[in-house]
Structure 1
Amino acid sequence: LQPKITFGKVTRAILDFLTRDTMSRIELPILLPQRLLDNRRSGILEEFFDDLLNGNFHSYNEALARAGSIGLGISSPYRVAVVDAVGEVQGGDTLYMDILQETRKLIVSHPFAPKNIHSRIRGNHIVLIYVAEHAKSEEQTLFRNIGNTVAEGMNRGDFYVGIGKTTNNWQDFKDSYSQALTALEIGKTLFPSGKVAHYEDLGLYRILCQIKNKKALKDFMEETVLPLVEYDARHKGVLCRTLRAFLESGNQQETADKLIIHRQTLGYRLRKIAEIVRKDLNSPKDRFDLYMGLLIMDIFDPDHL
């Protein structure tokens, strides 16, 4: 009996042949340039990761077969990170892409870069996929060091990183990528100096970002903290800062110590705040509403809602 040959088997055989590490040692009638082989492998890798991040696989076996054909394992826990290290560029799309490519090379070649790291340029961002073998605190240090190197090498100060949750299976890559994008955008707002934001550390911010009805967010701000913002703007006051410190502490003496003011001064400010926002600061619900209003204000400009 002749063995049954399918299109899928032929495709996998060709991909395996073209990307095999030992290919350069095989004697061929016509030697293919190494650069052509490297470009071919790079293209296959990028196509695979695009499908993985877009959720284009329909089964575990399909994803596993594609990964195996290029010598990758996807059963280990991975993380997806999205990097914005370019900012605004004067000089057109070509220069922008050149900077992205050079930044990408600096990141993946850095001695502190995570092991088994794969990179992909998607739109204006550099997407990194790597085995999750470090604690979050260690990743913070790793990416800060990489960011310093990129800033020196590219003479650019911007370096923001958003990191999604660790994957448990092949289906989680799409979610981790989406989470990394969310973490990046929130991090750029909360940390203007440039930091690393893990999606799972963003708490209520990540829920607020999922709300599509921006008018509802603006209305909520107007009903809670916007009157206080406007009062501070007119009087060059610090009542918003005082309210945040009080809500995050919950204790008047700790709040007074943090703000370096007398407790009586704090008491006066809290009474003034309650009068302006028309809320009871002794009510857990009112305190929660006010804190939510402050969080919305952190990531959304009320004039653009």
Structure 2
Amino acid sequence: MKEYQTDPFKGTFGSLENLADKISDVLSCPVTIEDQNHRLLAYSTHEDSTDPARVATIIGRRVPEKVVNSLWKDGVIPRLQESDDPVRVSSIQKVGLGDRVAVSIRKNSEVLGYIWVLEVEKKLTADDMHLLKLAAVSAKSQLLQMQIGTKKKEENRQELFWKMLTGNLPHEERILEKLHELNILPVLPAVVFILQLQEEVTPALEKDILYLAAVNQKINVLLSAADSNQMLLLASPVGKEQPLDLAKSFVESFFTHMKERFSVSEIKAAYGSLVTSFTQVEKSYKEASSVLAVQEKLGGETLSLTGYHELGIYQFLDTIYEKQQRQGYQNEMLKSLQEYDRLHKTELYHTLETYLTMDENLNKSSEVLHIHMNTLLYRLKRIGEITNIDLKSPHQKIMIYLDFKINRLF
């Protein structure tokens, strides 16, 4: 290693690429520089030695999701986020990651990005580690320079998103112009996600959510906005799978990683239908909102329904309810059950609702109700006697089932 009496990274380098080459020259190792969401910003170009993870990062312009997940599981990223000291990372062969050293680029406690140094032909010494910390300080200046104007751009992006969500930009051409002005690639199809937390979405939580969305690599976030305890995303599914399958997969991994990495649980999530025009964003947003409404009012089996396309008949209950209201409709059979329960302190109404919800499965219904099957059979017999409901009639059963759900929703 060359001897340095002073900081070799003082001064300006013109670009992060030049800085990456300088770090590589000083440490005699391949170097990559990433932002806080593991998107590639620069890499050194003067060496031949590398590993599969670095190659995939350079080709894809961001660290592969499986590599990020492994680094979280091994505790590497949490250590980088907690300290400005370099962290030695042992190879993880299953994801193609060789030995390397990483350091976070920080402004006080905020992580701006990372520098990764691949240890192919040499191990970094204590002096090398010190030089790497100095390189992180130099990189901080460059990343902060890149952030100038970012806050204003983000405000403009949020304003555009809210106009789309509320239908205040009805012309596709105008939306495309705005996206172009904000350097957002107008990728379609896209879908609106609502991620609802128990607490308000703070700037720190917003950053964590956007981090997971970025490293997930099943969706590409075009626009985002925080609204009280909700995080709203407009994202385009990415991959060879069906777009709505990718959306579902993102939601499932989001639940897991928010709990594992940031200790945030009790999250609800919903997404609307795919949009093939940006003027349809309002529609997708309303659909996602209706999914959340069903989850919150019905609970139970509906909590696993996150996509609007998964709602089935629940999509149309509001229309049925409105017609019932106009006609003054009441289900007399259910009304008589409620009156009987009130007078006799029984639970026949809840029993019938559970039985139909469990698709008339006696074993499952008994388990949910915490009663013996003989008790359930007796209750069903009493229900038939009181209401004259014919449970063998699909027409009656469907209408009764819908009325149960409507009574819960409205």
Relative to the length of structure 1, the TM-score reads: 0.68
**TM-aligned CA distance change 1:190 to 1:141, over 3 Å:** farther
Matches within 5 A, 1:101-116: 101-110=203-212, 111-112=215-216, 114-116=218-220
Q: Of the candidates 259, 280, 286, which is equivalent to residue 172 of structure 1? A: 280
Higher strand share: 2
Match of 1:147 in 2: 255
Query: Helix, strand or coil: the match of 1:80?
Result: strand
Query: Helix, strand or coil: the match of 2:193?
Result: strand
Match of 2:31 in 1: none
Query: Helix, strand or coil: the match of 2:188?
Result: coil
Q: Distance in 1 between matches of 2:245 and 2:220?
A: 19
Q: Distance in 1 between matches of 2:176 and 2:401?
A: 46
Match of 2:309 in 1: 200
Match of 2:296 in 1: 188
Offset of 1:295 from its aligned partner? 1.3
CA contact (8 A) 1:78 1:130 kept: yes
CA contact (8 A) 2:161 2:224 kept: no
Deviations 1:191-222 (A, max 9, x none): 369655211211222322457759939x7565
Q: Distance in 1 between matches of 2:187 and 2:146?
A: 30
CA contact (8 A) 2:193 2:272 kept: yes
> How many percent of aligned residue pairs carry the same amino acid?
20
**TM-aligned CA distance change 1:43 to 1:83, over 3 Å:** same
Match of 1:42 in 2: 154
**TM-aligned CA distance change 1:208 to 1:239, over 3 Å:** closer
Letter in 1 for 2:288: A
**TM-aligned CA distance change 1:298 to 1:33, over 3 Å:** same
CA contact (8 A) 2:308 2:315 kept: yes
Query: Helix, strand or coil: the match of 1:71?
Result: coil
**TM-aligned CA distance change 1:152 to 1:279, over 3 Å:** same
Offset of 1:77 from its aligned partner? 0.3
Offset of 1:50 from its aligned partner? 1.8
Letter in 2 for 1:169: S
Q: Distance in 1 between matches of 2:251 and 2:217?
A: 8
Relative to the length of structure 2, the TM-score reads: 0.52
Match of 1:299 in 2: 409
CA contact (8 A) 1:119 1:126 kept: yes
Q: With a CA cutoff of 8 Å and minimum separation of 6, indicate the structure with the bigger relative contact order.
A: 1
Structure 1 runs not aligned, ≥5 long: 1-20, 22-31, 88-95, 301-305
Deviations 1:28-53 (A, max 9, x none): xxxx9544411121112112212222
CA contact (8 A) 1:79 1:129 kept: yes
Offset of 1:231 from its aligned partner? 4.3
Q: Distance in 1 between matches of 2:288 and 2:252?
A: 17
Higher helix share: 1
Q: Of the candidates 219, 223, 227, which is equivalent to residue 332 of structure 2? A: 223
Structure 2 runs not aligned, ≥5 long: 1-40, 42-143
Offset of 1:79 from its aligned partner? 0.6
Deviations 1:138-183 (A, max 9, x none): 5434323322433456654321111100002122111001111111
Q: Of the candidates 121, 125, 141, which is equivalent to residue 226 of structure 2? A: 121
Aligned pairs, number? 255
Q: Name the larger-Rg structure.
A: 2
1:68 equivalenced with 2:180 (yes/no): yes
Query: Helix, strand or coil: the match of 1:197?
Result: coil
Matches within 5 A, 1:249-264: 249=359, 255-259=361-365
Q: Distance in 1 between matches of 2:174 and 2:186?
A: 12
